[in-house]
Structure 1
Amino acid sequence: MKLTSLFAAVVLAASALVVPAGPAYAVGPCQSPEPPPDCPSPNDGPPTGRLDSITRVPAGIRLTGWASDPDEAALPVRVSVDDVLAGELMADKPYPGHDNHGFDGVVAAKPGSRVCLTTADPPTTRRITIACRTWPVPVLPFGALGAPVRSGISVQLAGWAIDPGTTGPVTVTAEVDGRPGPQMSANLPRADVASAHPAYGGDHGFTLTVPEGAEGEHRICLSARATSLGCQTWTVRHNPYGGVDSVVLTGDQVRIAGWAVDPDQPTTSTLVDIGVDGKYLRTTTADRPRPDGSRNGFEMTVDAADGVHEVCALGWNLGLGDHAYLGCRSYSRLQPAPPAPTDVRVTGVTDTSIELAFTDQAATETGYRLEARGGGKNKIIDLPSYAGTGSRTATVSGLQPVTSYEVLVKPVQTGAVEVTDQDAGRASAWTTGAPVIEAFTAGPATARACKKVDARLSFRIVGAVRAEITRNGAPQWAGQAGGGLWNGEAPGGNTDGNETYVLSAYDSAGRKTTRTVRLDQEPTTVPLVKSVSFFNNRPDILVVGVWDALGNQTHDFGPLLINARLTVQVPQCQQLNIQVRRAVDRRTVVFQTVDLLGYSTGMQRDVRIDPGPPMP
């Protein structure tokens, strides 16, 4: 009993010691009272922030915003432009809602268009991007050029220019119509510039006055430090302008109407000179009412003349400038076309000319026009008129030799309708010259030995009256023509190739042109042989012939005696394998040729048969 009580007391005492300690586990270094410096903070998180504004100031670029990190009292913020470091700002200024984590400072103005802010993430060394903004950093002068204002004979312009690197004025250079103009300092007060760019003040304006220039459009461009500030254009118009609206033929009269305005005095009627075919006719006043309500119209009626005529109007200048043409229009009053000549014929030709004769049917023509068409070019000759009617002659020269021409003959009459090609008199002829063989071919292109074909020859000749063809030097064909274009064919004979054809063409003067064509022979698979000459250098008599596969002799060319020669003429177009055998048994073969094809123009072979064992 005492022992049990004692045991229970010990257990209770042990239990009292264990329960307060709780479960047992290992404690890490970052949970110790003094953790190492690389342990994360209980409030650890990435830095945050915002970029509120970017502005260009003379000292660089000014940036405002805030950046904070729970572990840091103030963050250093790096500013880069297109990844190039521009400077660093401290986020330690008061900022509503973010205590003393605001930044407002200036860094260098680096050229670029993307501005980014980064900061470190303590206690690590990695960098966190707070914000980025696309904002082209002004590093070159900028400004504006206003619209030009006309003042008399001058043009006034105004604008402003700022050099972003300074509050002082910048020099502005003008270029007028591509030529150097005046220079000025942009130092005049401009309230609008001061409001838009307070860091630079408002003394950056400029004005300039340039002459308006000559009649037409002009262009002025301004720059500062070789940087464009803009361009403007203006148009100078002092000369009168207008137009000729209509020139209408009615019977024997022509009504002319139009309008004219002097831009310097648009409400004052100006005078208008009317001319016909470049000659002054009369003057009128542009004071008639127009459909647009103005009174700048003019109208005049003049006598019409036969033919085609051009009417032009010239406006008088009232102020600055000069008189100016308003425009031109044409009218025509034509008589019927003169009659075309008849009986147009060729009376002679040369290498470069064609002589014609015709009957003139026009009594009032002012000339004749001859147009020779051919050879890809037209040759036109104008001739004076003929008195009355009757037989006429004319020559068209300067033509190409051996060329086909069609010559059109037209009478020309001033003030009359032109004679059409369809109504013109005409004649055709070829000019002379050495014949031209444009083509000469033989068909088929090739032939096979011992396989004869009928060859055909084709030709195209210009300017020949006679032609001949020879075949391997022998006459083959002859023909005649009229001297123009000759497309012809001729027989080339029955042939198996190896033919040379020569075409000779002659003109009427006997001039000759030749062209050669070949009809070749296809290569054969066996030699073409005319003859084989055998010489017996053996001590026995031999026999020459052809034997078939059964040993039957099909050709016997005779015996070949000792130290003697036997020439075998291979039959034309027969394919043979010639053997030489001993005469005593006509079985032992001492020599045989390869397959040969007999051909009259083939080669001639020599064979020497020496002592030796028989062939298998």
Structure 2
Amino acid sequence: MRESGTWSDWQAVGASDAIPDANRAEAADAATRGGTDPIVASHADGVQIWAEAATGKVTGVKVVLIDPGTRAADAAPPASTVASTSAPSTTATTARATVTSAVFRQASATIRAVVAPAQPSIISRAGWGADESLRTCEPDYSTGIVSAAVHHTASANNYAPADVPAIIRGFYAYHTRPEADGGRGWCDIGYNFLVDRFGRNFEGRAGGITSTVIGVHTGGFNSRTIGIAAIGDFSTAAVPAAVTESLSQLIAWKFSIHHIMAGVTVQMVSGGGESKYPLGTVVEFPTIYGHRDAGFTACPGQNLYDLLPAIRARVAELSNESVTYSPAGAVDSVAGSATGIRVAGWALEPETSAPIQVEVTVDGTVSALTADQDRSDIGQLFPSAGSLHGFSGTISAAGGRHVVCLRALNVGQGASTVLGCTAVTVRNSSPVGYIDAVTATPTSILVSGWALDLDTTSPIAVHVYVDGLATAVLADGSRPDVAAAYGDGDKHGFSVAVPATAEPHRVCVYAIDSQGGVNPLVGCRTVAYDNPAPVGILDVAVAGPSSGTISVSGWAMDPDTSAPIN
């Protein structure tokens, strides 16, 4: 790179192994072309590229120049504009524990005043000037974050404080630019947080700093890991003390609200992709690990990687004791239904066996459930806590996409625990259908038609009422015409014969909602059996062969039966 007429030394860059997890929305847009991490050249006016392959020729090279623009506010971004939604922790003076049924704390234990780590100052996306129109899809969320991956951006270290917002905007623009235009094709910036060399923290990927937003930073392990990047290249450069302390405080705060211990290991299953561990491999990492532990990369640089043991120790010092006093729990399921969002899981407080409250937030609107349902499995895991710690319930929500977060509310020392977040879609479309025919016979009523629920491709039930008495039938007959009209499969036809007398009857048909919602009326008909008279023809009537006789021939039938009649 050339700055002020002088060319720098060559800077080696390799292919980045950061790609979206395979089951994420942005994976389809970022799977055809590799790319390097961006090179920061804040004041350069020229660039040279030297590309070589281990064998053969290098083809398809594309160089992309990103201009992040300038803002007057870059010189002094707000110190902290991101508010935490976590409830403040409750502290206590030194005392003897009086709760005899504590889960982790015995009744004889001495309780010291334990203060959960406070949220550090974090400069928001607005603070560094994120253009939200560049985001191409909604955030994905994890129902369980268990670790933090430390990165460096492998970019220049000689930036000034006022340069940082533009540097982050450059990362953001490169990450979100379509692959065809030389970018990575991601929905948003890949990192969850960034830390500059002055120790300032910056919000990365959108979706909430206290939530479990899934980023793109550690191939194969994005969905279980917080990705935090130190801005700079720490392969050979010394790591400023401000960086290590800010990393430690930021991770400690996140660990305290996600119930993660530092200085221990955790097992995760590789999602494959660009990870050095094949898909499905069970891997054991420290809860704070370096990017190189998971991928084929030198990230976070040797000097920062060498400091990870010290960072783990510092995080443990700041948050581990708080975590042991904080609620534990898990989200078992979050699913959309016809009437809202159903959630289930368990939560307990280590300082009491009494049930605690679970906060359920749907798009920012808060509801509460009590974790007081019997869970024998939890009782076996935590005998001193008892088994009444399960929760389930349905939160009303309109149709569409919703972001749901669950948090176990702390009642003693420690901090409230974010159990997990996820995005769910409530589909509560009403079934539709049509009555093709209602025909009466002397002994039954024949009803045929079709019905489907757009919330499922499976056949649904249809209830046929004759004078108020119901007969259930499955609408699973082949109807290619319905499949062509709705694109929801063809197994939606029904036909049923309901026993009935020859008198008039009222017939009504209802389509049964697959999600347990309202069952709409398809239609009603009034039918009566119109008893037709027998018919026939006299073909021949002639004198018989003997005196006093007549020979007669012809035919006769009753439309009500195929049997011979008199």
What is the TM-score normalised by the length of structure 1? 0.22
- Using structure 2 for the length normalisation, give the TM-score: 0.24
Q: Which has the higher contact order (CA 8 A, sep 6+)?
A: 2
| Higher Cα Rg, which structure | 1
Judging by fraction of residues, say which structure has more strand.
Answer: 1
Which structure features the higher share of helix residues? 2
